[in-house]
């Protein structure tokens, strides 16, 4: 296909001049460690998955939008959430501190907390009508709370039992409730509060005979079948009408920690301490028989550690546990094969940036839940050959480790481009610091405007004179900074009715514009001179995951959760020519099939045609001046191109320079001196820091 | 294997010679598996008891009116529903005798058809694509009916299915050569429109058939070029908003039926179960180009399962209810019971033993004069296969040539297998008949394997056709050990003079010539017979001196003990696949002279290979060193006691013993340097990236 040799030669020229070599700071000293998954619950109505981690963080994933992590919240204190529950669009959690918390999903904080007065709460469950919440407490009571419009109110206790209530499940009719306890299952009449049945659960064989068996999870089906999973490794099926055991499946030597039943009650999954997820299906055991039975059908092994939380969606099994990864495993009989939906997904990293890079100062800010780290990058003066590493003249240096005040998690942080300001926010406090780089001194700025709380996202202007903080109801607070003083300038408000939090902020280099994106997929651009709304980018059906305003052309580049890229001209208030061309031709299918979102967009100041984006597995320099990759051709990445002979390389190259040399990326940024910073966190490093998994007998050991 | 049983006539068809259609408008299931309602294309609806071949009732509309839609039976209310004169819906019960006195309702728009299946409510599909439940339509018969289809679009086919949760009306339309599929859900109503991919220009589907399995609706359709496609639509598929564009409907080619000359005119394909399709109006692959066959094809394995010639004109109509196919053909309307057991690879290949059918279960067949007469008429045009059983050798060869020159390889597989086994069995029965060149051609197609025609290798051995033997050994992956052994026995006991006359595959002969040609060259690398007991551990120094002493002895052993062609044949044996515990008992049948000769040959090949290590890397097909060693081991295992007692073989055994020693020594030397090799491996690993580095990358 050598149609235009002249043009091809010109491209070669452009490559050499414009792409060429990059100096890369390869950073692996960010010891980011995700926390174990403790509980999850899926809402079929909203297609949202709520997930609780061991450090108290709550995450909301939108399954209808490419599993995008829309929201991250932190509870008031570092409290382990033990159970979660959706009531319509409302989210409740309960934990071992004995409190029930409802969350404000718009302001990303707890709305209120109710003490249950029953000791630690192990489980929470709502009836199918959404009117009553039942919680299972350490003192052996099942407590009912009425769900009111604004609050929940204690209604009654069911008969108090000896021993703690570990798991609860309502019968779909709402008249019965089954409770998993130590060594037994109780069925209560929800109206009278009396216990009607007592089902005794066998203990494990051998040495564990003397140990109480814990009924970790329970499910009450509409045909009065009760399914329980326990610490002796059993999944048991009971007849809830007569209180008899129908069948026992011994699936592991260890605990079966979680159960989840599909909406149509034809399939259920059980998660074990070995990291396996076992599927059971309600089918007839032989083809010609009509009577159905719960039959063990599939075993998935996607985890190395305990599976603590499970959700059975209509088409997939979602699991998570000690190994911190969220795994979405589609059931191949429910989805079309070899499509995007049938691919397994693992969510290992948060879908937002935990790294802030001061481009001018060469500093990196790492955000941990309880502290911040500020590093200065190293230097090198040597010249090395391609593909090799340079001698490091000055190694990287940790300048500051800043512990957060109080008990709350750090929910957002920012470092100004000049490296002179540092800000972070928790749910209850906001702090701003002045840094003196040369002498490494830090001093706190007092007398901050009150409007800064709660901040969901922070951003400094390019000249470090302003700080933007996204606040409640989609608004953004603008604060002016000068030497040791901080003045409230105003609040940017979107149109009436925007309530979702802003999760992306981007200021233009000339200080004229500020773009915001919220989880309702709206992108607003404000004029900072007038502090007024400039324009609203046409709403696209997928949530923006990263965006940035080009320093010279003032075009806004937005990347969405479905991997689409748009470029919007703020001057003309329309999509740019390149963006239209991209949409017309369509992105390459290999690009669209990537399963991690783009989390950062930046530009090359030397070449205005370059857009630098990255996801977890690659970074890509999009050169707008080059032809787009064509759908019928293979999308060559840089590694593949390098292996090609020189003439083929020209034929196969395209405008998307995808580099996969660095993997498990948390940040890719371009410093002012034209060198790239990549922050890697290899998954192997994370795995090596996990506790040892349960011991399993391997052959010949 | 699926089977078609003897059919019987339900009724005759009105004798109108040059009418293109059969006169039957529709067949619908009635209350149970033995009743059907047949609507003819003019005025009459008849209820049949199928097993009795007898009409139970018949209803007729008045002269001047015509039935425009097939009558259906509503099992819930036990009523029949039909459409006459496009706009009048008639409903009656079985006791109603005169149709015109029964319930009638006139609606405001033309009706295409009324559909009703067991478990669903009757639905009315209008000409312009609108769908109403019959009940709601009758509550206000004159209600306005919307136009769904564009003006040039016309319905070509429609049906109705009921899933666990929903009822669907499915219909296809044609608009200027484009075909569309509509999927109308009822309660809640929604309509999806799909665009069928275009086949070759000008071809429109001849027939559709729809089935519902595993939450998916499967549409099967047949094109005049014999292609049968399947498209799968999920019933769960999200409903696109109103007025959306037609979605492209992905399809997969299930079958490519042979069409003979020209395109199919009147044909129909009907899905029987997940693996079987009944096709009428398509030629039988082994019976010329006559298109009057009813066939059952297995779609999983692309095999023809059963076929039946249907006398008279085929109208391209086919219905199937309860394991019976209903086909109008010629002047009769036949019912043909069929049976489709679960398909497996074994049954598709015809290897599964047929379970004897219970006589009582087999459908009763009532002979009819009509079919008897037609069958007799059909006999002269019997298949080519029957002719072949008597044809002379030359004609067979010509026919085979013709067959193989065909390009459509799909059904060649089955026919080549059939042909080869027929030829082999005929040759076995008839000593005068043998077609070596045809058989060689057939084997060369590589479609054959031993299990398809088990007689072929033995036949070749019997006829001393060693070339064919060689080809079979080369191309058949599944030759049983007993046959391999039989070949070995024949080859080894054959005299060299006989063998020299045999014409063999040139490549293998060339390889063997090359091997023998360098007989007297000195050993280049590694060990030779020089490996005596007294040899020192120092490999480099020991070889040369010891070799001189033994040069004489080794020269004798380096002569090839068998002739060239015999060696070539033995090489083929060495390269066949086997399982040693099955081979051993047969090896024991060899006589001791044969064993010794074979061992000598193996020793010779072994020496050649170990002298020249680059030998087996040539492109030619040749036995590998391990194969030679394995055979040696097997032979020694099978005959060790005999060999030990035989004095002549002592030298040979001692030599072999020396091989083993040299092998052991070689392995121990390898073991010594294993550690160093592993270190090399580790050095090749990528250097560890530390916590921080500054690198240079280049982007193209």
What distance in Å separates the CA atoms of residue A42 and residue B617, rounded to the nearest whole number?
Answer: 61
Percent of chain B with pLDDT over 90: 1
Cβ of A390 within 8 Å of Cβ of B695? The answer is yes
CB A612 within 8 A of CB A670: yes
Best mutation site among B249, B251, B698, B699 for testing chain A: the one with the most A CBs within 10 Å? Answer: B699
What distance in Å separates the CA atoms of residue A445 and residue A454, rounded to the nearest whole number?
Answer: 18
**Would you tell me how many other CB atoms lie within 10 Å of the CB of residue B378?**
16
Which range has the worst mean pLDDT, A65-74, A570-579, B301-310, B615-624?
A: B615-624
Cβ of B698 within 8 Å of Cβ of A621? The answer is no
Whether B657 maps to a domain, the answer reads: yes
**Would you tell me how many other CB atoms lie within 10 Å of the CB of residue B639?**
22
Residues ≥6 apart with Cβ < 8 Å to B152 = B175, B176
CB A546 within 8 A of CB A596: no
Chain A nearest CA to B651, separation (Å): 45
B452 and B546, same domain (yes or no): no
Which range has the worst mean pLDDT, B235-239, B371-375, B473-477?
A: B371-375
- Minimal-distance CA residue of chain A relative to B694: A25
Whether B10 maps to a domain, the answer reads: no
For the stretch A533-569, pLDDT in tens is 999 999 998 999 999 999 999 999 999 999 999 999 9
B566 and B635, same domain (yes or no): yes
Q: Which residues of B touch A389 (CB under 8 A)?
A: 693-696
Cβ of B698 within 8 Å of Cβ of A386? The answer is yes
B475 and B533, same domain (yes or no): no
Name the residue facing A15 among B234, B689, B700 (closest C-beta): B700
B654 and B563, same domain (yes or no): yes
Chain B nearest CA to A334, separation (Å): 9
**Length reported for chain B:** 700
Cβ of A387 within 8 Å of Cβ of B694? The answer is no
pLDDT band at A43 (very low <50, low <70, confident <90, very high): very high
Chain A nearest CA to B236, separation (Å): 10
What distance in Å separates the CA atoms of residue A141 and residue A162, rounded to the nearest whole number?
Answer: 9
More confident call, B284 vs B17: B284
Cβ of A659 within 8 Å of Cβ of B699? The answer is yes
Q: Which of B255-269, B652-666, B681-695 is most confident? A: B652-666
- Residue A535 CA to chain centroid, in angstroms? 29
Three-class SS state of A284: coil
Q: Which residues of B touch A664 (CB under 8 A)?
A: none
Q: State whether residue B431 sits within 8 Å of chain A by CB.
A: no
Q: What pLDDT is recorded for position A271?
A: 94
Cβ of A657 within 8 Å of Cβ of B699? The answer is yes
Name the residue facing A29 among B691, B694, B700 (closest C-beta): B691
Cβ of A28 within 8 Å of Cβ of B692? The answer is yes
For the stretch A681-696, pLDDT in tens is 989 889 888 888 877 6
Best mutation site among A11, A18, A28 for testing chain B: the one with the most B CBs within 10 Å? Answer: A28
Q: Which residues of B touch A384 (CB under 8 A)?
A: 695-696
Cβ of A23 within 8 Å of Cβ of B696? The answer is yes
| Mean pLDDT on B548-563 | 62
pLDDT score of B549 more than 50: no
Whether B350 maps to a domain, the answer reads: no
More confident call, A437 vs A659: A659
**What end-to-end distance do the CA atoms of chain A give, in Å?**
58
CB B666 within 8 A of CB A630: no
Average pLDDT, chain A: 87
Name the residue facing B699 among A22, A27, A380 (closest C-beta): A22
pLDDT score of B534 more than 60: no
Q: State whether residue B238 sits within 8 Å of chain A by CB.
A: no
Q: What range does the domain containing B449 cover?
A: 366-479
Best mutation site among A16, A22, A621 for testing chain B: the one with the most B CBs within 10 Å? Answer: A22
Chain B nearest CA to A530, separation (Å): 41
Cβ of A659 within 8 Å of Cβ of B697? The answer is yes
For the stretch B205-227, pLDDT in tens is 888 888 888 788 888 888 888 88
Cβ of A384 within 8 Å of Cβ of B696? The answer is yes
Best mutation site among A8, A14, A16, A24 for testing chain B: the one with the most B CBs within 10 Å? Answer: A24
Three-class SS state of A405: coil
pLDDT score of A26 more than 80: yes
Nearest Cα to Cα of residue B483 among A365, B646, B491: B491
B520 and B448, same domain (yes or no): no
Phi and psi at B51, nearest 5°, equal -70, -25
Cβ of B234 within 8 Å of Cβ of A649? The answer is no
B520 and B666, same domain (yes or no): yes
Chain B nearest CA to A392, separation (Å): 7
**Would you tell me how many other CB atoms lie within 10 Å of the CB of residue A274?**
25
Phi and psi at B642, nearest 5°, equal -60, -45
B473 and B548, same domain (yes or no): no
Q: Which residues of A touch B699 (CB under 8 A)?
A: 15, 19-20, 22, 621, 638, 657, 659
What distance in Å separates the CA atoms of residue B393 and residue A487, rounded to the nearest whole number?
Answer: 107
Q: State whether residue B690 sits within 8 Å of chain A by CB.
A: yes
B457 and B539, same domain (yes or no): no
Name the residue facing A378 among B692, B699, B700 (closest C-beta): B692
- Minimal-distance CA residue of chain A relative to B236: A334
Q: What pLDDT is recorded for position A453?
A: 77
Question: Is omega for the bond preceding A285 within 30 degrees of 0, making it cis?
Answer: no
- Minimal-distance CA residue of chain B relative to A640: B700
Q: State whether residue B241 sits within 8 Å of chain A by CB.
A: no
Q: What pLDDT is recorded for position B532?
A: 41
For the stretch B588-598, pLDDT in tens is 888 888 899 99
Whether B21 maps to a domain, the answer reads: no
CB A514 within 8 A of CB A506: yes
Q: Which residues of A touch B214 (CB under 8 A)?
A: 333
Q: State whether residue B693 sits within 8 Å of chain A by CB.
A: yes
Q: What pLDDT is recorded for position B382?
A: 33
B523 and B402, same domain (yes or no): no
Whether B108 maps to a domain, the answer reads: no
- Using an 8 Å CB-CB cutoff, list residues of chain A that contact chain B: 15, 19-29, 333, 336, 378, 380, 384-390, 392, 395-396, 621, 638, 641-642, 649, 653, 657, 659, 661
Cβ of A387 within 8 Å of Cβ of B691? The answer is no
* B window 189-228, beta carbon within 8 A of A: 214
Is ipTM beyond 0.90? Answer: no
DSSP state letters, A343-371: S-EEE-S-SS--EEEETTTTEEEEE-SSE
pLDDT score of B675 more than 90: no
Count of structural domains, chain B: 2
Per residue, the 3-state secondary structure of B21-44, as one string, reads CCCEEEEEECCCCCEEEEEECCCE
Describe the crossing of helices B393-404 and B436-444 by its angle, rounded to 10 degrees: 20
| Mean pLDDT on B287-293 | 72
pLDDT score of A100 more than 70: yes
State the count of interchain CB pairs (< 8 A) between A and B. Answer: 80
Q: State whether residue B64 sits within 8 Å of chain A by CB.
A: no
Whether B95 maps to a domain, the answer reads: no
Residues ≥6 apart with Cβ < 8 Å to B358 = none
What distance in Å separates the CA atoms of residue A519 and residue A507, rounded to the nearest whole number?
Answer: 19
CB B180 within 8 A of CB B153: yes
For the stretch B140-171, pLDDT in tens is 888 888 888 888 888 888 888 888 778 888 88
For the stretch B314-348, pLDDT in tens is 887 888 887 888 888 877 888 888 887 766 666 55
B534 and B577, same domain (yes or no): yes
Percent of chain A with pLDDT over 90: 49
Q: Strands B190-196 and B247-249, how do they pair?
A: parallel
B427 and B514, same domain (yes or no): no
Cβ of B696 within 8 Å of Cβ of A24? The answer is yes
For the stretch A197-256, pLDDT in tens is 999 998 877 767 788 899 999 999 999 999 999 999 999 999 999 999 999 999 988 899
pLDDT score of A163 more than 60: yes
Whether B269 maps to a domain, the answer reads: no
Three-class SS state of B387: helix
pLDDT score of B418 more than 90: no
Whether B219 maps to a domain, the answer reads: no
pLDDT score of A501 more than 80: yes
| Mean pLDDT on A284-309 | 86
Q: Which strands sit side by side in the sheet containing A176-180, from one edge to the other?
A: A167-170, A176-180, A184-189, A195-200
What distance in Å separates the CA atoms of residue A141 and residue A164, rounded to the nearest whole number?
Answer: 8
Average pLDDT, chain B: 77
Name the residue facing A20 among B234, B694, B698 (closest C-beta): B698
Q: Which residues of A touch B692 (CB under 8 A)?
A: 25-29, 378, 392, 395-396
C-alpha pair distances (Å), A576 with each of A579, A608, A674: 5, 14, 26
Phi and psi at B106, nearest 5°, equal -100, 130
What distance in Å separates the CA atoms of residue B625 and residue B612, rounded to the nearest whole number?
Answer: 11
B429 and B552, same domain (yes or no): no
């Amino acid at each position: 296909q050598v149609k235009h040799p002249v043009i091809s030669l010109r491209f070669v020229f452009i490559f050499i001049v414009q792409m060429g070599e990059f100096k890369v700071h390869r950073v692996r000293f960010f010891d980011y460690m995700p926390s174990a998954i403790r509980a999850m619950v899926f809402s079929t109505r909203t297609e949202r998955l709520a997930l609780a981690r061991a450090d108290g963080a709550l995450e909301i994933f939108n399954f209808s939008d490419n599993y995008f992590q829309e929201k991250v919240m932190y509870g008031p204190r570092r409290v382990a959430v033990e159970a979660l529950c959706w009531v319509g669009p409302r989210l409740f959690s309960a934990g071992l501190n004995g409190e029930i918390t409802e969350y404000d999903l718009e302001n990303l904080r707890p709305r209120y907390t109710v003490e249950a007065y029953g000791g630690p709460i192990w489980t929470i469950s709502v009836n199918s009508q959404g009117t009553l919440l039942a919680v299972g407490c350490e003192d052996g009571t099942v407590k009912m709370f009425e769900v009111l419009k604004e609050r929940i109110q204690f209604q009654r206790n069911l008969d108090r039992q000896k021993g703690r209530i570990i798991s609860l499940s309502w019968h779909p009719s709402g008249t019965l409730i089954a409770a998993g306890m130590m060594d037994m299952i109780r069925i209560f009449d929800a109206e009278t509060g009396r216990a009607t049945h007592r089902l005794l659960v066998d203990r494990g064989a051998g040495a564990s005979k003397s140990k109480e068996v814990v009924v970790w999870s329970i499910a009450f089906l509409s045909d009065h079948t009760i399914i329980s999973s326990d610490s002796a490794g059993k999944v048991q099926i009971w007849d809830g009408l007569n209180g008899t055991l129908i069948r026992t499946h011994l699936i592991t030597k260890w605990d079966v920690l979680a159960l989840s039943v599909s909406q149509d009650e034809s399939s259920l999954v059980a998660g074990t301490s070995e990291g396996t997820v076992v599927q059971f299906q309600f089918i007839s055991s032989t083809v010609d028989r009509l009577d159905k039975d719960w039959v063990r059908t599939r075993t998935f092994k996607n985890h190395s550690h305990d599976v603590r939380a499970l959700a059975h969606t209509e088409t997939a099994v979602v699991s998570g546990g000690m190994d911190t990864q969220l795994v979405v495993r589609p059931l191949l009989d429910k989805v079309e094969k070899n499509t995007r939906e049938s691919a397994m997904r693992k969510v290992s990293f948060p879908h937002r940036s935990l790294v802030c890079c001061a481009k001018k100062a060469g500093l990196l800010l790492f955000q941990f839940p309880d502290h911040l780290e500020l590093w200065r990058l190293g230097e090198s003066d040597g010249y090395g050959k391609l593909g090799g590493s340079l001698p490091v003249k000055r190694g990287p240096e940790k300048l500051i480790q800043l512990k957060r005040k109080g008990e709350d998690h750090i929910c957002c942080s920012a470092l100004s481009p000049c490296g002179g300001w540092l800000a972070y926010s928790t749910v209850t406090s906001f702090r701003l610091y002045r840094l003196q780089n040369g002498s490494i001194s830090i001093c706190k700025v007092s007398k901050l405007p009150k409007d800064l709380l709660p901040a969901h996202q922070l951003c400094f202007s390019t000249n470090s004179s302003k700080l933007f903080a996204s606040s409640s109801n989609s608004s953004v607070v603008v604060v002016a900074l000068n030497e040791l003083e901080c003045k409230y300038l105003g609040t940017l408000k979107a149109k009436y009715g925007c309530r979702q939090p802003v999760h992306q902020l981007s200021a233009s280099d000339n200080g004229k514009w500020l773009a915001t994106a919220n989880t309702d997929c709206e992108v607003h651009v404000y004029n900072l001179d007038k502090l007024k709304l400039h324009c609203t980018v046409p709403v696209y059906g997928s949530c923006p995951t990263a965006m940035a305003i080009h320093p010279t052309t003032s075009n806004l580049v937005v990347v969405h959760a479905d991997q689409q890229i748009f470029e919007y001209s703020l001057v003309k208030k329309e999509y740019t020519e390149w963006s239209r061309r991209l949409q017309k031709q369509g992105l390459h299918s290999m690009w669209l099939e990537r399963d991690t979102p783009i989390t950062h967009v930046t530009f090359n100041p030397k070449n205005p045609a370059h857009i630098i984006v990255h996801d977890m597995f690659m970074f890509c320099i999009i050169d707008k001046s080059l032809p787009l990759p064509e759908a019928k051709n293979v999308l060559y990445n840089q590694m593949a191109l390098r292996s090609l002979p020189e003439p083929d390389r020209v034929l196969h190259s395209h405008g998307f320079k995808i580099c996969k040399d660095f993997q498990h990326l948390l940040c890719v940024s371009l410093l002012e001196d034209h060198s790239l910073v990549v922050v890697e966190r290899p998954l192997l490093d994370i795995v090596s820091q996990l506790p040892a998994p349960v011991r399993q007998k391997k052959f010949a050991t | 294997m699926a089977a078609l049983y003897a059919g019987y006539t339900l009724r005759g068809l009105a004798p109108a010679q040059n009418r293109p259609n059969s006169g039957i408008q529709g067949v619908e299931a009635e209350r149970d598996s033995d009743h059907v309602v047949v609507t003819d294309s003019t005025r009459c609806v008849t209820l049949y008891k199928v097993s009795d071949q007898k009409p139970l009732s018949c209803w007729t509309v008045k002269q001047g009116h015509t039935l425009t839609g097939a009558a259906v039976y509503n099992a819930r209310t036990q009523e029949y529903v039909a459409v006459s004169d496009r706009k009048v819906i008639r409903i009656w019960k079985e006791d109603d005798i005169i149709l015109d006195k029964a319930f009638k309702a006139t609606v405001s728009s033309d009706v295409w058809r009324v559909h009703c299946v067991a478990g669903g409510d009757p639905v009315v599909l209008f000409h312009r694509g609108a769908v109403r439940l019959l009940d709601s339509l009758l509550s206000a018969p004159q209600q306005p009916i919307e136009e769904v289809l564009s003006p040039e679009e016309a319905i070509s086919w429609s049906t109705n299915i009921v899933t666990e949760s929903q009822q669907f009306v499915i219909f296809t339309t044609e608009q200027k050569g484009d075909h569309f599929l509509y999927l109308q859900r009822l309660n809640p109503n929604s309509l999806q429109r799909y665009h069928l991919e275009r086949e070759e220009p000008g071809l429109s589907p001849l027939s559709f058939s729809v089935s519902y399995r595993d939450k998916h609706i499967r549409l099967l359709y047949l094109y005049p070029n014999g292609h049968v496609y399947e498209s799968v639509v999920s019933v769960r598929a999200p409903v696109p908003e109103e007025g959306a564009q037609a979605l492209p409907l992905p399809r997969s080619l299930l079958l490519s039926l042979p069409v003979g000359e020209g395109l199919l005119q009147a044909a129909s394909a009907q899905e029987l179960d997940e693996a079987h399709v009944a096709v009428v109006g398509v030629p039988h692959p082994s019976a010329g180009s006559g298109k009057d066959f009813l066939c059952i094809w297995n779609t999983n394995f692309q095999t023809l399962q059963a076929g039946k010639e249907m006398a008279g004109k085929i109208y391209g109509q086919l219905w199937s209810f309860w394991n019976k196919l209903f086909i109008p053909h010629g002047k009769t309307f036949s019912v043909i019971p069929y049976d489709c057991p679960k398909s497996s690879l074994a049954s598709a290949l015809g290897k599964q033993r047929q379970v004897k059918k219970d006589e009582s279960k087999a459908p009763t067949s009532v002979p009819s004069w009509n079919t008897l007469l037609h069958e007799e008429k059909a006999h002269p045009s019997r298949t080519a296969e029957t002719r072949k059983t008597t044809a002379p050798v030359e004609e067979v060869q010509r026919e085979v040539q013709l067959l193989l020159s065909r390009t459509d390889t799909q059904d060649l597989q089955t026919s080549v297998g059939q042909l080869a086994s027929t030829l082999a069995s005929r040759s076995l029965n008839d000593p005068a008949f043998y077609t070596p060149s045809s058989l060689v051609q057939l084997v060369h197609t590589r479609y054959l394997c031993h299990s398809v025609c088990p007689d072929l290798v033995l036949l070749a051995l019997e006829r001393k056709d060693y070339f064919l033997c060689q080809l079979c050994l080369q191309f058949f992956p599944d030759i049983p050990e007993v046959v391999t052994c039989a070949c070995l026995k024949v080859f080894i006991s054959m005299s060299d003079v006989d063998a020299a006359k045999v014409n063999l595959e040139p490549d293998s002969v060339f390889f063997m010539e090359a091997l023998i040609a360098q007989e007297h060259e000195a050993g280049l690398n590694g060990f030779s017979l020089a490996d005596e007991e007294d040899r020192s551990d120092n490999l480099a120094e020991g070889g040369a001196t010891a070799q001189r002493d033994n040069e004489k002895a080794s020269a004798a052993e380096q002569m090839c003990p068998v002739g060239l062609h015999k060696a070539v044949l033995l090489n083929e044996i060495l390269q066949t696949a086997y399982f040693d515990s099955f081979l051993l008992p047969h090896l024991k049948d060899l006589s001791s002279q044969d064993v010794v000769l074979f061992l000598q040959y193996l020793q010779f090949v072994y020496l050649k290979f170990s002298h020249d290590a680059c030998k087996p890397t040539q492109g030619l097909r040749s036995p590998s060193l391990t194969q030679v060693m394995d055979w040696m081991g097997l032979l020694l295992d099978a005959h060790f006691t005999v060999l030990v007692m035989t004095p002549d073989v002592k030298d040979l055994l001692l030599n072999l013993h020396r091989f083993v020693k040299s092998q052991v020594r070689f392995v121990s030397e390898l073991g010594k340097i294993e550690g160093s090799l592993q270190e090399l491996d580790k050095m090749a690993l990528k250097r560890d990236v530390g916590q921080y580095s500054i690198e240079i990358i280049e982007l193209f």
